[in-house]
Structure 1
Amino acid sequence: MKLWSMPSSGNSYKVRLLLALLGRDCEIVDVEDSSAALVSAKAAGRLPFGKAPVLELDDGRLLPESNAILCWLGEGTHFVPEDEFARASMLSWMFWEQNQHEGVIAVRAALQSYPARRHLATPERMAELLERGHALLQVMEDRLAVHEWLAGDAASLCDICLYGYTHSAGSKGGFEMGRFPAIGRWLDRIAALPGYRGLDA
């Protein structure tokens, strides 16, 4: 397999993290934001939706969208709960991550991290994202204050999914992570999973 991956992106990272946790071999092709490699990959038709990550299977089929890739890789593994309700809850968190969490937590970090986007980081916009992000993180905090994992009684795909941008929400996004001690303990539990690799590994 081959993963077309943006090194700095939480969406790409969560796929790389699951591959590491599963011990799966995969060629990683870096297509960083604004790079010639990204332009080339788009021109070659390797990014069907125009963005990374995309998993290219051995037979040449292309699977875009990070959470779809997680589901494909996770099929039949211990990262997908056997219990039907826990499995549905896992998917709920994954849908919420892309529909709510990513569009605030990741966006605030991107406005501070990518030079081409910094002109959009007005004080009003950054303040709005900070307030909304803290409210979203509180949703996670409320769950994790009484449960070790987001769905079921073990780490599942939604934990890996939400780890992607949450683990750097403080350092990259400027969110006040000290307000969320249960999230902090959850981050530590994921980092302790066998096979774990960090964003820059």
Structure 2
Amino acid sequence: MKIYGDRISGNCLKVKWVCDLLALPYAWIDVDVVKGETRSADFLALNPWGQVPTVVFDDGRTLAQSNAIIRYLARDSHLIPADAFTAAQMDGWLFWEQYSHEPYIAVRRFHLTYLGKPADALDPKLETRGYAALDIMERRLSEARHLAGDALSLADIALLAYTRLAHEGGFDLTRYDGIRRWIAQSEAELRLAPAH
């Protein structure tokens, strides 16, 4: 299996973390998003959406969209709750992450950290809606150790990717005790060095 990804992308790191945790063998192929490598003819032949991550399996099939990829890779593993309702709750967090979390927290981080834009040049909705997403997570994590069920699941992995780096987007996590505890716990479970 080949993973085409950019290590600055939380969406790509989700896939790497699932593979590493489940001991799934892969070859990582670096694709630089900032340099526009996802827009090359060769890459667009793999994924016409022009996005990373993209996985190419040994049989030649390709799969894109980070949460679809991790959902497929983790099938029949402990990362998907056995209880159908809890698994559906996990899926809810996966959909919410791409619709209500990543477009604000990850996008603000990308503009500030990788494009070097000043904060006052960004759409203020990125900050407002990013904090709204963090508030929702904090409500859950102030009373639970995990986002779905009582064990690490794909929901935790998907939300960890950009939440642990929210400070790079100018988000202050000091007021979120539940989120900070969950980040440390999830990093330990995934055997990741703490984010700085």
* Deviation at residue 128 of structure 1 after TM alignment: 3.0
Aligned counterpart, 1:196: 191
Gaps of 5+ in 2: none
TM-score after normalising by structure 1? 0.89
Aligned counterpart, 1:173: 169
**AA in 2 matched with 1:146:** E
Aligned counterpart, 2:63: 63
Aligned equivalents of 2:159, 2:173: Cα separation in 1: 15
Deviation track 1:22-64 (CA, whole Å, cap 9, x = no partner) reads 1111000000113375444645612231110011111010000
- Are 2:80 and 1:83 equivalent residues in the alignment? no
Deviates more, 1:154-163 or 1:122-131: 122-131
Aligned counterpart, 2:132: 135
- Secondary structure in 2 aligned to 1:29? strand
Aligned equivalents of 1:153, 1:160: Cα separation in 2: 14
Aligned counterpart, 2:92: 92
**AA in 2 matched with 1:161:** A
Aligned counterpart, 1:34: 34
Identity %: 38
Closer, same or farther: CA 169–23 of 1 in aligned 2, 3 Å: same
**AA in 2 matched with 1:134:** Y
> Conserved in 2, the CA contact under 8 Å of 1:30 and 1:37?
no
> Conserved in 1, the CA contact under 8 Å of 2:38 and 2:44?
no
> Conserved in 2, the CA contact under 8 Å of 1:42 and 1:50?
no
Closer, same or farther: CA 129–43 of 1 in aligned 2, 3 Å: closer
- Aligned ranges for residues 10-21 of structure 1 at < 5 Å? 10-21=10-21
**AA in 1 matched with 2:17:** L
> Conserved in 2, the CA contact under 8 Å of 1:17 and 1:196?
no
**AA in 2 matched with 1:184:** R
* Residues matched between the structures, number: 195
Aligned-residue CA RMSD (Å): 2.1
Deviation track 1:76-119 (CA, whole Å, cap 9, x = no partner) reads 0000001111000000000000011010000110111223x73x
